[in-house]
Amino acid sequence: MAFCNITGKSLNSGVKARRSAVVSAVEPKWNLAKLDVDAILKEVKFNADGLVPAIAQQFDSGEVLMMAWMSAESIVETLKSNRAVYYSRSRKELWRKGDTSGQHQHVHDFQVDCDGDTILLTVDQLGVACHTGRRSCFYFAVRDNGLEEILPVVIDPKKLYS
């Protein structure tokens, strides 16, 4: 793998929402007809609440977009629907990313770490990941005077939730 030339500023810095289409050409790396969901779930270690943290990363640029939580049910739906589906701890229900805002995440790969307690989704994020209208939820960064905002709002949040 060739390392890409992201140096200097933050990986997320200056990123613009580069997609406005509602579809993605990205395909997941598994054959849905052959998918063995039980074999996958068996390797995931859920916490006492039945959840596991999931990091979403843009598959081609490497931007870390957000972290959310997944239940067994949300994992199954993610793998079968090819769209990121999380579990909302505040609403206590499945959170099909983009159903309200239109900012879907098409799943490219689904990875599990060495001890099975964290998931890494590589996705094609349409538009923005953050409810504030920024490309990534990680937009505060440590600078000399505390935390500073490093990403611009690229979609008015009112347009996301109207």
In the complex, the residues that contact its own copies under the rule CB under 8 A are 1-7, 9-15, 18, 28-31, 34-36, 39-40, 43, 53, 55, 57, 59-64, 66-67, 79, 109-116, 118, 120, 122, 130-132, 134, 137-147, 150
Q: Which is nearer to its own copies, 99 or 113 (CB)?
A: 113
Identify the bridge partners of residue 66 per DSSP, sorted by sequence position: 56
Q: Which is nearer to its own copies, 94 or 120 (CB)?
A: 120
CA 56 from chain centre, in angstroms, equals 3
Structure-token match 């049910």, residue found: 73
| Cβ–Cβ < 8 Å for 123, 106 | yes
The minimum distance between CB 162 and its own copies, in angstroms, equals 19
Give the contacts of 46 (CB within 8 A, at least 6 positions apart).
52, 71, 72
Give the contacts of 47 (CB within 8 A, at least 6 positions apart).
117
Q: Which is nearer to its own copies, 12 or 96 (CB)?
A: 12
Q: Which is nearer to its own copies, 11 or 72 (CB)?
A: 11
The minimum distance between CB 95 and its own copies, in angstroms, equals 14
CA distance 108 to 23: 13
The minimum distance between CB 83 and its own copies, in angstroms, equals 15
The minimum distance between CB 22 and its own copies, in angstroms, equals 20
